[in-house]
A and B are shown apart, each in its own frame.
Chain A
Amino acid sequence: MNEMVRAAGVNKVFGTFAALKDVSLAVSRGEVTCIIGPSGSGKSTFLRCVNQLERPDSGAIVIDGELIGYRRAQQHLLELADKEIARQRLMTGMVFQRFNLFAHLTALQNVMLGPIKVQGRPRREVEKEAVTLLERVGLADKRFNYPSELSGGQQQRVAIARALAIQPKLLLFDEPTSALDPELVGEVLNVMRDLARSGMTMIVVTHELAFAREVADHVVFMDQGAIVERGAPGAILVDPQHPRTQNFIKAVLK
Chain B
Amino acid sequence: MAADRVDRRKGAIYGDEILEISALPTIRRRHYGRVVGVALIVVAVAFIAKAFSEGQIEWKVVGQFFTAPAILFGLLNTIWMTLCAMTLGIVLGVIFAIMYMSPNPVISRCAIAYIWFFRGTPLLLQLLLWFNLALVFPTISIPGLFEARMVDVMTPFVATLLGLGLNQGAYTAEVVRGGILSVDTGQVEASKSIGMTPLATLFHIVLPQAMRVIVPPVGNEVISMVKLTSIASVIGYSEVLRNSQDVYYANGRVIELLIVTACWYLAVVTVLQIGQHFLERYFSKGYSRRNGVPAPAASA
Partner of B286, one of A86, A93, A146: A146
- Contact indicator B286/A162 (Cβ below 8 Å): no
Q: Does B200 count as interface, using CB distance less than 8 angstroms?
A: yes
With known contacts A118-B200, A148-B295, A149-B295, A105–B195 Cβ distance under 8 A? no
Most A CB within 10 A of own CB, among B187, B212, B299: B299
Q: Is B204 a contact of A113 with CB atoms below 8 Å? A: yes
Known: A82-B198, A151-B298. A96 touches B189 (CB 8 A): yes
Count of residues in A whose CB is under 8 Å from the partner chain = 44
Q: Residue B141 at the A interface, CB < 8 A?
A: no
Q: What total of A-B pairs shows CB separation below 8 Å?
A: 104
| B196 and A118 form a contact (CB under 8 A) | yes
Is the pair A118, B295 in contact by a Cβ cutoff of 8 Å?
A: no
Binary flags per residue of A180-202, CB closer than 8 Å to B gives 1, else 0 = 00001001000000000000000
Which among B195, B199, B204, B287 has the highest number of chain A CB atoms within 10 Å? B195
User: Interface readout for B161-196 with A: 1 if CB under 8 Å, 0 if not?
Assistant: 000000000000000000000001011011111111
Inter-chain CA distance A102–B184, complex, in Å, is: 10
CA distance A149 to B298 in the complex (A): 9
Given A96-B186, A118-B200, A149-B295, check contact A51 B205 (CB 8 Å). no
Q: Could you say which interface size class chain B belongs to? A: 20 to 34
Q: Which of A89, A148, A151 contacts B195 (CB 8 A)?
A: A89
Contacting residue for A51 out of B191, B193, B297, B298, CB 8 A: B193
B187 engages A89 (CB within 8 Å): no
Q: How far is the CA of A146 from the CA of B295 in the complex (A)?
A: 9
Complex alpha-carbon distance, A148 and B289, angstroms: 8
- B194 proximity list for chain A (CB < 8 A): 89-90, 93, 113-114, 118, 162-163, 165-166
Whether B191 pairs with A102 at a CB distance below 8 angstroms is yes
B261 within 8 A of A: no
Q: Are B195 and A90 in contact, with the CB atoms below 8 A?
A: yes
Q: A119-B195, A148-B295, A184-B298 are in contact. Are A103 and B190 (CB under 8 A)?
A: no
A100 near B195 (CB under 8 angstroms)? no
Indicate whether B300 reaches chain A with its CB closer than 8 angstroms. Answer: yes
- Complex A-B: 8 CB contacts under 8 Å: A82-B198, A86-B196, A90-B194, A93-B194, A102-B187, A118-B196, A146-B286, A166-B195
Give chain B's interface residues, CB within 8 Å of chain A.
Answer: 184, 186-187, 189-200, 204-205, 208-209, 212, 283, 285-287, 289-290, 295-300
Q: A53-B189, A104-B286 are known; give 4 further A-B pairs, CB within 8 A.
A: A93-B194, A103-B209, A113-B204, A154-B299
